[in-house]
Amino acid sequence: MSAGSTDMPESALMALASRGDEAAFGELVRRNMRRAYFSALGLTGSHEDALDLSQEAFTRALRASRRLDPERPFYPWLYGILRRLCLNHLRDGRARSVKLETAGSWLVAESRERAAETGPERTTEREELRRRVAAAIEALTPIQREVLLLREFEGLRYAEIAALLEVPEGTVMSRLYAARKALATALEDEL
């Protein structure tokens, strides 16, 4: 691979990776590792599992790299692998590396610093709300959780979510509605 690989367009890296160039594949990993990790974190709710499953997705992608199509974007292809791994992991009820006192800690209140300025009582309230939101999201079905996370935490538009999941936009909205209704019910006292 050339020295300027970090500036290479994705399609060029994919073409190289599909011919067995591991450095080009490494660059694809570097560009997509954060996104893959956060997708897995949202689905599994565990840092260890998210790290493990996202890395596993990349190793499987490497083994299947001959099938890479440079005409199509890399991440949706990788996401297909990652999604299957995460859903199988959840379906099989495999262990999640969770400390009881830090359950739900995959989610953080964005304005924690500002909240801290308003006093300890407010901070405690926000922390309690964060815990309840995390627990309510964890109680959703994996399919509902996935679409909620893609929309709320990754900020994807419906068309992007539909393309990633290979479903119609109507299905995205329907899953999102079910997820939000379930969350609203679980957090009724807070809303």
Partner 1 sequence: MDRLDRTKELLMRALDDELAPEEQRELDALLADDPKLRAEHDSLGRLKEVTGTMKLRHPPEELWDDYWNTAYSRVERGIGWILVSFGVIVVGGWAGWQFVTDLIADTGMPPLIKAGILAGSLGLVILTVSVLRQRLFVRQTDPYKDIQR
Q: How far apart are CA 190 and CA 168, in angstroms?
A: 32
Instruction: Give 30 or 71: the residue with its C-beta nearer to partner 1.
Output: 30
Among candidate residues 180, 100, 170, 81, the one with its CA nearest the CA of residue 140: 180
Comparison of 1 and 71: residue with beta carbon closer to partner 1: 1
The minimum distance between CB 55 and partner 1, in angstroms, equals 4
DSSP at 167: S
Q: How far is the CB of 24 from partner 1 (least distance, A)?
A: 12
Task: Tell me the closest approach of the beta carbon of residue 165 to partner 1, in angstroms.
Answer: 15
Angstrom distance (rounded) from CA 163 to CA 74: 13
The burial of 70, by beta-carbon neighbours within 10 Å (0-12 exposed, 13-18 middle, 19 or more buried), is given as middle
Nearer to partner 1, 62 or 87 (CB): 62
What size, in residues, is the chain? 191
Distances (CA, A) of 118 to 94, 122, 124: 40, 6, 11
Least distance in Å: CB of 69 to partner 1? 22
CA dist., res. 79 & res. 58, Å (int): 10
Note whether 106 and 41 are within 8 A (CB). Answer: yes
The residues of the shown chain that bind partner 1, judged by CB under 8 A, are 22, 26, 29-30, 33-34, 37-38, 41-42, 47-48, 51, 55-56, 58-59, 62-63, 92-100, 105-111, 129-130, 133, 149, 151-153, 157-158, 170, 173-174, 176-177, 180-181, 183-184, 187, 190-191
**Least gap, CB of 48 to partner 1 (angstroms):** 7
- The residue (of 71 and 99) whose beta carbon lies closer to partner 1 is 99
DSSP class of 190: G
Nearer to partner 1, 71 or 183 (CB): 183
